Chain A
Amino acid sequence: MLVFSGLSLKKSFRNMDRNAFIIFLGLMVFFGAFLILPILYVFRGAFFEGGRFTLTYFMLMFTDPFYKESIYNSVVIGVFATLVTSLISIPLAYLMVRYEFPGKRLMQGILLVPLVMPPFVGAIGMKQLFARYGSVNLLLMQLNLIQRPVDWFGGGFWGVILMEALHLYPFLYLNLSASLANIDPTLEEQAENMGASGFHLFRTVTAPLMLPGYLAGSLIVFIWAFTDLGTPLIFEYRKVVPPIIFSMVKDIWVNPMGYALTVLTLVIAVVFVVFSRRYLGRKNYEMMGRGHIVPRIRRVTGWKLPFVYLLLFIMVLGALIPQLSVIITSFANEWFLTVLPTTWTVDYYRTVFTHSVTVTSIINSLKFSLASTSIDIVLGVLIGYLLARKKFPGKDLLDSISMLPLAIPGIVIAFGYVATFSGTSLDPFVDPTILLILSYSVRRLPYTVRAAFSGFQQTSVSLEEASSSVGASPVRTMVSITGPLIMANVLAGGIISFSAAMMEVSDSMILALREEYYPITKAIYGLNLRLGDGPYVASALGIVGTVLVACCLLAANKLLGKSMGELFRA
């Protein structure tokens, strides 16, 4: 057995491309230093004290009532957020894929709007709207529907769930509609032919075939809601894991509890990813038969149409409430015990573009994001090329490790960076620039790798060979043939990576420890804590950031056309 594997290893070394292998080793050093090492440091911090193995802090998490409750809350928030997004997304996907009605294209655009604003920005506006004496309570009291103000957010718990759901449902919706559109209509027709119809048909044929898409989407939702740091912070809801980890960054050298909680977060996330992959692997039915699928689309007519629009109206309103509330807040001058502001102003926007903190933060974000995106594009093209075109030992490892950041919560990487690099020349307490750039790029690298890889795959090798056969060197071929052909894909991947970096929360919160290095998101958080016009300026800054990101995504959409949704799928 050993002899045999040695032999096949030798053979794979003989068939490999030497240069590819050297580049592969270089990439491994990069991933080792900025992905694996930080995680190892977190594990060391959680399980070793003074060089001795200990389970004290791990046990403490499950015995101390405060930690126990927080862990429980985090899981429950993840589960509930997933349930609420499911309730929104399943009917929505079914409606949007299977029915045709006037205004459908517009709806497709609007439904993706929540993607562009991070949930914690929306939370600022929602707080204004749903506060104890916020617009909603005031309105209901004026209408005599309630006597006393209602605590809509259940002390922040339900507020977090609601915000996560409203922000995250597009991920599930996109995955669901993709798998629904892929179902060969003859499968359903066959079932109808045998007498199944209506809900029975949906339950027995359609739903099982949608399951892979559902699992992929709900996985993103769960992990995001479970590890989101910004939203609970804005709602000042501290009894969940991420804010506790955040508060422990300061005493990273004295209290190992932060490490233990980070390990727990990582383990839960990885367990979910592994299980759903396993399950998906078994359930991923190949659609047999014809390659091209014409989905069953029915036209909605007559009395059903108003119901469809009512449903969609509720959805749109729900989806846009956070955005609208932030916009209103950002323009509100006097807003005291009234449903809507009594006077309006653009002062907060003026502040955004003049105040040193906000201006610095915009410049910082642009700087960090441009740098991290450049790294992502270079590494993404390199890795995509190696994976699509070259043979070398360790190729599977490179494939898995470059996709690994999708499974690792940002909060884990950020905490790991602080643990690993404090006291070195990259110390985030001194100047977090490099670490911020690296954490942004490591976490978004899967997007550019995937984009570049599919670009290389769509570009037939024979196009490169044809160039070679007429006398072009490999470099020339790359510049004149392959480069232009994969450009659209790579750019789109880069734009996605850029916009994600612009609105990145957990890395920014944890790593940017001094005001002069604040990116936009941390500045929003900082401003929101300030009394007076703080939340209003924070909202204005949030809108500025959102508009920037929206422009980026529109550009990416233009480049990629219909296939953009694919980048958000698991």
Chain B
Amino acid sequence: MVKVTLSGISKYFGEFKAVDDVDLEVGEGELFFLLGPSGCGKTTTLRVIAGFYKPDKGSVYFDDRPMNDIPPYRRNVGMVFQNYALWPHMTSYDNIVYGLKVRDVSPSERVKRARAVLDVVQMREFATRYPNQLSGGQQQRIALARAIVTEPDVLLLDEPLSNLDAKLRIETRHEIKRIQRELGTTSIYVTHDQEEALSMADNIAIMNEGRIEQIGAPRDIYSKPSNSFVAGFIGETNFIEGKVSSIGEEEGLLTIRASSGDEILAGVPHGRFTVGQEVLCSVRPENIRLMDISPNLPGGQVHEGEILHMTYYGVIEHYVVRGFGGKEVKVTNFNPDVKRRDDGERVLMAFDPEDVDVFPF
């Protein structure tokens, strides 16, 4: 098991900064995710680790070994490609043992190890098939088997599930996670699918425009986004613009006057703010409760709105409410045992200050 360290990595394509001064550390045996929208530099970062790109600045270390000048074929990494990259002129078995042959592993040992990984990915009966005789999911498993049979120091996965259909994708998530746990190989996984990252990762790095926006465990990233990009990218959220009107005694509680005039109490400031500063408040849809309009307002903050439309998803109901001066606010109710509401109905939206993140605008 090795620790992977990137320090100050930059990679340019002409004028375009694909990766811009990235630092990160992946611990031994960790399943680490690079998550971001397309074009954010996550695949480029992965290819720098694999050795397919030389960084223009910075260094890659496996443990304490600098890797910059080591060609990809001497790095002992396994890689699963987005399109699987199975060699079409070789059977599944030949695809898997190729790396062992390259390493001069003895024939008997080759058979043993190929069998073992075929069992791990549950593909034993498909060993003699050619890639074009396999379904997408099966090809994916063979690609994984090929990457792990050489017992690599680091396993790299480049959007390995993006070519699978929705149901298979969810099944395979657990499968990959199980295999990674069994092997204990340090793994770096690139995806743009946040559910995939949240459900599988030990740690996630959120990337945007070549930079890392936040690194943390899934729970932390979701509940404590460190900036408005992360808040907007992970999960759904409502952004409300406004100005700081007062700062509470404990400095934790801000009062913000939204551009619509509403007063919002916000409990989670990111950074230090001054009165009058323009800010962005973020409230997640599931943290907003809908209530009837009544003369006796309950405690806490409430804001009036009008239901534009509701979408029913079974386990949840999704509302779009017009409020805060004509804004469309997303509201999600789970396990709706609460009252069904109709389009056009006027309601109150309530949320707690500790569910309101505030970012500098």
Contacts and interface: CB of A to CB of B under 8 A. Distances in A.
Do A and B associate with each other? yes
Interface of A: 11, 460, 462-463, 465-474, 476, 480-481, 484-485
B8 interface: no
Nearest to B77: A469
Contact of B87 (A11, A463, A469): A463
Nearest to B103: A471
Most chain A CB inside 10 Å of its own CB: which residue of B78, B82, B87: B87
A460 B83 contact: yes
B338 interface: no
B102 A465 contact: no
Interface of chain B: mostly helix, strand, loop or mixed: loop
Interface residues of B, number: 29
15 contacts: A462-B82, A463-B87, A465-B72, A467-B98, A468-B51, A469-B75, A469-B147, A470-B73, A470-B98, A470-B150, A472-B73, A472-B98, A474-B73, A476-B102, A481-B87
Given A465-B72, A470-B102, A471-B76, 10 more contacts: A463-B87, A465-B50, A466-B85, A468-B52, A469-B75, A469-B147, A470-B98, A470-B99, A470-B150, A485-B87
A473 B146 CA distance: 17
B74 interface: yes
B73 A471 contact: yes
Interface in B74-117: 74-79, 81-83, 85-89, 98-99, 102-103
Most chain A CB inside 10 Å of its own CB: which residue of B73, B76, B78: B73
A25 B152 CA distance: 39
A465 B83 CA distance: 12
A473 B87 contact: no
Contact of B85 (A463, A471, A476, A484): A463
Contacts of B299: none
Contacts of B78: 469-470
B336 to A, nearest CB: 43
Contacts of A484: 89
B14 interface: yes
Given A11-B14, A480-B98, A481-B87, A466 B73 contact: no
B14 A469 contact: no
Interface string B45-87: 0000011100000000000000000011111111101110111
Nearest to A487: B89
A275 to B, nearest CB: 34
A468 B50 CA distance: 10
Contact of A471 (B14, B74, B83): B74
Contacts of A480: 98
Give 8 closest A-B pairs by Cβ, nearest first: A470-B99, A462-B85, A469-B79, A466-B85, A468-B72, A472-B102, A468-B73, A462-B81
A436 B76 CA distance: 50
A481 B79 CA distance: 16
Contacts of A472: 73, 98-99, 102
Contacts of B87: 463, 466-467, 481, 485
Nearest to A464: B85
A471 B152 CA distance: 10
A470 B144 CA distance: 12
B79 A465 contact: yes
A485 B88 contact: yes
B89 A485 contact: yes
B204 to A, nearest CB: 23
Given A460-B83, A460-B85, A484-B89, A469 B72 contact: yes
